[in-house]
Chain A
Amino acid sequence: MTGTVLTNTVMILGMAAITVFVKAALFVLGDRVVFPPLLKQALGFVPVTVLTAIIVPMILAPNGEGLELTWRNPQLVGALAAVLVCVVTGKQLLTIAVALGVFLAWQLGVLA
Chain B
Amino acid sequence: MTRRSSFAAGARDTLPMVIGAAPFGVIFGTLVAAGPLAAWQGQLMSLSVYAGSSQFIALGLVAGHAGLAVIWLTTLIVNLRHALYAATLLPHVAHLPARWRWALGFFLTDETFAVMAGYYARHPRAPLGHWYFLGSCLSMYANWQVWTLVGLLFGAAFPQLQSLGLDFAMVATFIAIVVPQLASLPNFAAAVAAGTVAYLGQDVPYKLGLMAAVLAGVTVGMALQRWRSGGLEAGRREEEAA
The chain A residues found within 8 Å of chain B, CB to CB, are 4-5, 7-16, 18-20, 22-28, 30-31, 33, 35, 39, 41-43, 45-62, 64, 74-75, 78-79, 82-83, 86-87, 90, 92-93, 95-96, 99-100, 103, 107
Pull 18 A–B residue pairs with CB atoms less than 8 Å apart, ordered by A.
A4-B36, A9-B44, A15-B72, A19-B49, A30-B90, A41-B222, A45-B190, A46-B87, A48-B217, A49-B217, A52-B174, A52-B213, A53-B195, A54-B198, A55-B171, A93-B176, A100-B169, A107-B165
- 9-residue interface stretch from B78-86, B139-147, B149-157, B232-240: B78-86
Binding site secondary structure of chain A: helix
Binding site secondary structure of chain B: helix
Residues of A within 8 A of B71 (CB): 11, 14-15
> Does B185 count as interface, using CB distance less than 8 angstroms?
no
Beyond A48-B217, A90-B180, whether A15 also contacts B45 by CB under 8 A is yes
B98 to chain A, nearest CB (A): 7
Residues of B within 8 A of A52 (CB): 174, 178, 191, 194-195, 198, 213, 217
Bound-complex Cα distance A74 to B84 (A): 31
Residues of A within 8 A of B214 (CB): 46, 49-50, 53
B80 to chain A, nearest CB (A): 6
Residues of A within 8 A of B138 (CB): none
| Interchain CB contact under 8 A, A22 and B172 | no
Bound-complex Cα distance A33 to B88 (A): 12
| Interchain CB contact under 8 A, B44 and A103 | no
Residues of A within 8 A of B174 (CB): 51-52, 54-55
Beyond A19-B54, A82-B172, whether A24 also contacts B86 by CB under 8 A is yes
Closest 8 CB pairs of A and B: A24-B105, A49-B217, A53-B198, A47-B117, A16-B48, A53-B213, A99-B172, A49-B194
A35 to chain B, nearest CB (A): 7
The chain B residues found within 8 Å of chain A, CB to CB, are 16, 36-38, 41, 44-45, 48-51, 54, 58, 62, 68, 71-72, 75-76, 79-90, 93-96, 98, 101-102, 104-106, 108, 110, 113-114, 117-118, 121, 165, 167-182, 186-187, 190-191, 193-199, 202, 210, 213-214, 216-218, 221-222, 225
A71 to chain B, nearest CB (A): 16
Bound-complex Cα distance A14 to B49 (A): 9
Bound-complex Cα distance A41 to B87 (A): 12
Residue on A nearest B15 in the bound complex, by CB: A96
Residues of B within 8 A of A22 (CB): 76, 79-80, 82-83
| Interchain CB contact under 8 A, A33 and B90 | yes
Bound-complex Cα distance A43 to B58 (A): 29
Residues of B within 8 A of A25 (CB): 83, 86, 105
A111 to chain B, nearest CB (A): 11
Residue from the list B76, B101, B167, B210 in contact with A18, Cβ < 8 A: B76
Residue on B nearest A74 in the bound complex, by CB: B165
| Interchain CB contact under 8 A, A75 and B168 | yes
| Interchain CB contact under 8 A, A31 and B94 | yes
B58, B114, B195: most-surrounded residue (chain A CB, <10 A): B195
| Interchain CB contact under 8 A, A26 and B83 | yes
